[in-house]
Amino acid sequence: AQKVTQAQTEISVVEKEDVTLDCVYETRDTTYYLFWYKQPPSGELVFLIRRNSFDEQNEISGRYSWNFQKSTSSFNFTITASQVVDSAVYFCALSEDRDDKIIFGKGTRLHILP
């Protein structure tokens, strides 16, 4: 069965610190997709990244980077030199190719303190 675990419910860091949000997933499918979304106070989810199960290359986009490790079923997200505008709830999600459903983790609420 699909499962996404974001063990960190809430994190607070001081601005300019680096922070890593953890995501561990479970799936029996060999083809699947992982996502990260950001939900600012306005409510809409903002797409950050999509990664398929065959692409284990880490990705960097500006201050954001993602570490995908199939061996540990993890897809962690790091924000470098955090800024107050990064404060939001971040969701990790999994979609299996076979089932075409999507399941979200419970989210991690990130507070960046000035």
Instruction: Among 80, 103, 109, 111, indicate the residue that binds other proteins (CB under 8 A).
Output: 103
Site for other proteins in 14-73 (CB under 8 A): 33, 37, 42-47, 50
Query: How far is residue 98's CA from residue 21's CA, in Å, rounded to a whole number?
Result: 27
- Shortest Å distance, C-beta 101 to other proteins: 6
Q: Assess 109 for contact with other proteins (CB under 8 A).
A: no
Print burial letters for 63-86: b (CB count within 10 Å at least 16), e (below 16): ebbbbbeeeebbbbbbbeebeeeb
- Shortest Å distance, C-beta 110 to other proteins: 16
Which 8-state DSSP code applies to residue 84? G
CA distances from 112 to 42, 64, 74, 75, 89 (A): 17, 15, 24, 21, 11
Q: Which stretch binds other proteins (CB under 8 A): 8-16, 17-25, 75-83, 98-106?
A: 98-106
Q: Which residue ranges make up the site for other proteins (CB under 8 A)?
A: 33, 37, 42-47, 50, 91, 93, 95, 97, 100-107
